[in-house]
Structures are given as structure tokens and as C-alpha cells.
A = this chain, B = another copy of it.
Amino acid sequence: MKRTTIKDVAEAAGVGVATVSRVLSGGSASQETRERVLAVAAHLDYRPSAVGRNLRQQRAGGIGLLVPDLTDTLYGRLAEGVLACARSAGEPVVVGSTGDDPELEAELIGMLLEQSVDRVIAVPSGDAEAWGPAIRAGMTVVFVGEQPQEDEPSDEPLDDLLMLDGLRTPPRPDSAIPAVLADDRSGVRTAVQYLKGLGHRRIAYLGGPGRARRVAAFREAMGTLADEELIVSAGGSRDSAYAAASGLLQSRGDVTALVAGGSALGEAAVLTARELGLRIPGDLSLVMYDDVPWAELCSPPLTVIAQPGQDLGYRAAELVLRSGARRPRSVLLPTELIVRGSCGPRR
């Protein structure tokens, strides 16, 4: 079973391979030969080999996508957004799941490098340093939904360069890599102010690994009410989320409201509250990050901060595909507080 190559088409059409290549790539050719070549190609069911093309032009088409966990609905939506944009551009997407593990992330980056994939969209797990090899190899990288932990100021004097256009849109403009982010700051602030408005004062934050921006935004929004003891962060696993939620709610019975920094955390919080006999929103008000399908079905329906998951992915894909022209620093997409039934006045 041999593949039909451009050579076969050329012979069948009675032209040279160069002509076939030109016709198929939109180059110049006479009307007559163009038609003939096209007809022959269609008749032979010829498909140009992406491998051959990639080898020739020194770069694989296609884009890489690295997310922490496809099981998470948010990343599922994000991936759908990327896939939608990539498909409209005819580009394949190589997907990797990092499990929020920097080591695994580095390994996957290596694999993409090996595949000559030169455009990558990633929800970063590790620090910015992990992406050094990638950008050094000429990859176009776009972060989405998250930015790497701040890398401690290294000896490389990049700072002046970065400060040049530092005061732009995004909150953390220290990275040379563009990012598509949800406006966490605004989202968290809205949620906290909403809770404050309901009379809550002891508001806890339950975060996951990374997501430093959200924690910072929470601190900022809380202002003088911030209590470091009420800011806990869990690991990536489900168990660790439960442990953190349980530890928080048991040790500090005085919290009246909780902001969960992700759907897994929110799930843990709901379950833990039930186990402890805390009623929502009677005893505990809850705002969860990410609008997932079950938020509406939960009892009570959960008030959430919704991120535009699909848009995040789509915009990131746009950015990474049209990276040739302008090089936009970053994009900030709005979040939305969807009020349902999980928040009530302070008891």
C-alpha cells in the first residue's frame, strides 16, 4: 500500500513535480495546467504529505497544547477553543496533559521539540525557566489561563528591556511570553466585594497549586480584612483538596464565607461542608472559581466566578497562529460573577 506522491501526480498529469507543487501551493501556473493538475490530483485522491513538507521547510506545522488536566471541565472547554481555531486553520493539535507537574511539563516540552512543533499554547505548571529551552529553540509560546511563578530575578539583565513596555495591560508584565488570561483580579475582587456586601468579614480562600495571581488578588481585595491563616493552598490531587478544605473548616469554625479557587476545590468544599454538617449558605457562603455544569445542579446551586474557557483557548490559538505580524503582549478576558444560591448574609 504505497502512498500516492506528488511525483505520481506529476507523471499522470504530464508535468513536472515543481508545477504540481506550485499549483497546490497557490503559485503561478497557467489556467490550463492548473485545471489538469487539479483534476488528476483529485482523481488520484492525492494528499500532500505533511511530513515531507515539514521536513522541507524546517518546521512542523501544527500547534502543541499543554494543559494540567483534561478531566477538568475548564481545560476541556479551553481545549475545545484551541481545537476550533486550529481546525479552521487546518492545523493539527498535539495535546499533552501535565498533571500540574513541572517535571512532566518539561518532558512534554521536550517531546514537542522533538516533533519540531514550533507553536505551543500552555497552561504553565512549572516556573518560567522550564520554557527557556523552548523559546531558545525558536518556539512561539503563548501562555493561557495562567502565568508561570515569578522567576526570581536572574543574573541575565533582561529587566530594562522588559520595563520598557512594562505598564501595559496585564497585571504581571515581566514575562516576555504573551499570555491570554482571565481577569482574575477583577473576578476575585467582585466576589470578595459581593461577600463583603453580604456582611461577611472572615472570608477564607482555598487555592490550588500555582495560581499565585488569584491569591494575590484575594489579598488585595480583602485589604485590612486579610488573614493569612485563612488562605490555604492544596496540592493538585483530589485528596489533598479534601484535606485542605477539611483542615480549614475544622480549625477555623469562625469563617463564614469561602472562595474556592477552582472547581476541584469547590467540590471538596461542598463535600466537606456536608460532612461537617455545615449548611450552605446558612452556615457557610461559598463562591467557586469556574462555572462547571454541575454548579447549577448542586444543592444549593453554586455562585461562581465564570471564566470564558472556550474563548481563552480560541484567543490563545489566534495569538499563536498570527504571531508573525504584531506581537501583542497579552490579552485579558473578563470574568463574570454568576450569582446562584450558595451565598447568604452573615449568620
Contact of A111 among B54, B90, B293 (CB under 8 A): B90
Residues A95 and B83 in contact, CB atoms below 8 Å apart:
yes
Bound-state CA distance A114–B191 (Å) is 48
Q: Which chain B residue shows the least CB distance to A92?
A: B94
Q: Does A281 contact B (CB under 8 A)?
A: no
Bound-state CA distance A108–B292 (Å) is 28
Q: Does A181 contact B (CB under 8 A)?
A: no
Residues A79 and B83 in contact, CB atoms below 8 Å apart:
no
Q: Does A1 contact B (CB under 8 A)?
A: yes
Residues of B within 8 A of A265 (CB): none
Residues A52 and B55 in contact, CB atoms below 8 Å apart:
yes
* Total number of A residues with any Cβ neighbor in B under 8 Å: 59
Bound-state CA distance A62–B51 (Å) is 12
A92-B115 in contact given A52-B55, A271-B296 (Cβ < 8 Å): yes
Contact of A116 among B50, B80, B271 (CB under 8 A): B50
How many monomers of this protein are in the complex? 2
Bound-state CA distance A38–B110 (Å) is 18
Residues of B within 8 A of A271 (CB): 296-297
Bound-state CA distance A72–B71 (Å) is 9
Residues A293 and B296 in contact, CB atoms below 8 Å apart:
no
Residues A51 and B116 in contact, CB atoms below 8 Å apart:
yes
Interface residue ranges of A33-58 to B (CB < 8 Å): 45, 47-52, 54-55, 58
Residues of B within 8 A of A296 (CB): 271
Residues of B within 8 A of A3 (CB): 58, 116, 137
Interface residue ranges of A81-106 to B (CB < 8 Å): 83-84, 87, 90, 92-97
Bound-state CA distance A97–B111 (Å) is 22
Bound-state CA distance A50–B116 (Å) is 7
Bound-state CA distance A1–B118 (Å) is 13
A72-B79 in contact given A51-B115, A294-B292, A294-B297 (Cβ < 8 Å): no
Bound-state CA distance A112–B91 (Å) is 10
Contact of A60 among B51, B70, B107 (CB under 8 A): B51
Residues B70 and A71 in contact, CB atoms below 8 Å apart:
no
Bound-state CA distance A47–B139 (Å) is 15
Contact of A294 among B79, B116, B294 (CB under 8 A): B294
Contact of A71 among B76, B110, B298 (CB under 8 A): B76
Q: Does A27 contact B (CB under 8 A)?
A: no
Q: A228 to nearest B CB, angstroms?
A: 30
Residues A95 and B93 in contact, CB atoms below 8 Å apart:
yes
Contact of A79 among B47, B49, B70, B298 (CB under 8 A): B70
A47-B77 in contact given A271-B296, A297-B270 (Cβ < 8 Å): no
Residues A80 and B76 in contact, CB atoms below 8 Å apart:
no
Residues of B within 8 A of A136 (CB): 1
**Top 9 A-B pairs, shortest CB-CB distance:** A294-B294, A299-B299, A95-B95, A70-B76, A71-B76, A1-B138, A50-B115, A297-B298, A51-B54
Interchain residue pairs with CB less than 8 A apart (13): A47-B110, A47-B113, A48-B114, A49-B116, A55-B55, A65-B95, A69-B80, A73-B76, A83-B96, A92-B96, A93-B94, A263-B293, A292-B294
By a beta-carbon cutoff of 8 Å, the part of chain A in contact with chain B is: 1, 3, 45, 47-52, 54-55, 58, 60, 62, 65, 69-73, 76-77, 79-80, 83-84, 87, 90, 92-97, 107-108, 110-116, 133, 136-138, 263, 267, 270-271, 292-299
